[in-house]
Chains A and B, each alone.
Chain A
């Protein structure tokens, strides 16, 4: 099964509201990453949080990491229509030298004007 799984699968909110998206994972990680994908485009890296960090901010984005619960959340504050996109969490599959990132299936966020 997937290393990282996002929740919910889809989210629809009004412009100006906050959007919270969650990601759970199964094995120990050294970092967790969030990406955004606009329709028909490639993924864009948003933020990386290391396993020894609990919270990280970037503009209107706030990411938390709870390693005891093996979960992370991405909060987008004061959402805009331009935030409409799919959001993915990604985690290293293992700690080996050639470990790869595993991406979840994504959350579709719709922000209504």
Chain B
């Protein structure tokens, strides 16, 4: 089975901090994704990567950046955390952009 592992289930940070969310997949998938999920808004795509060192902005990239130095690892970076970035963050991977996505269990991030 594909396993997508997110480094933390719960995280509390302070406003202005630089925050790193890590995601690792073990199935050699080309594509990896970062979403945030908020009540009433569903899943919104922040960034995705279709190859090592390649990235593309999603719908809400402002305030975020990403890094993909190795195929199995995709990191989401909050450059200067703000309270409106409090959310559930979900990482996913897939062998192709239209193929089924495999999700991690999410990181519930609170910015105080």
A residues apposed to B, CB below 8 Å: 2, 30-31, 33, 40-45, 48, 88, 90, 92, 97-101, 103-106
Contact = CB atoms under 8 A, between A and B. Distances in A.
Contacts, number: 53
The winner among A31, A42, A90, A92 for most chain B CB atoms within 10 A is A42
Interface of B: 4, 33, 35, 40-43, 45, 48, 50, 56, 58, 90, 92, 97-98, 100-106, 108
Given A33-B100, A42-B104, A92-B98, A105 B90 contact: no
A98 B56 contact: yes
B42 A31 contact: no
B42 to A, nearest CB: 4
Dominant secondary structure at the B interface: strand
Contact of B106 (A42, A48, A92, A100): A42
Given A41-B106, A42-B90, A101 B101 contact: yes
B56 A43 contact: no
9 contacts: A40-B106, A40-B108, A44-B103, A45-B101, A45-B102, A88-B43, A100-B48, A101-B101, A105-B42
Given A41-B105, A42-B104, A101 B90 contact: no
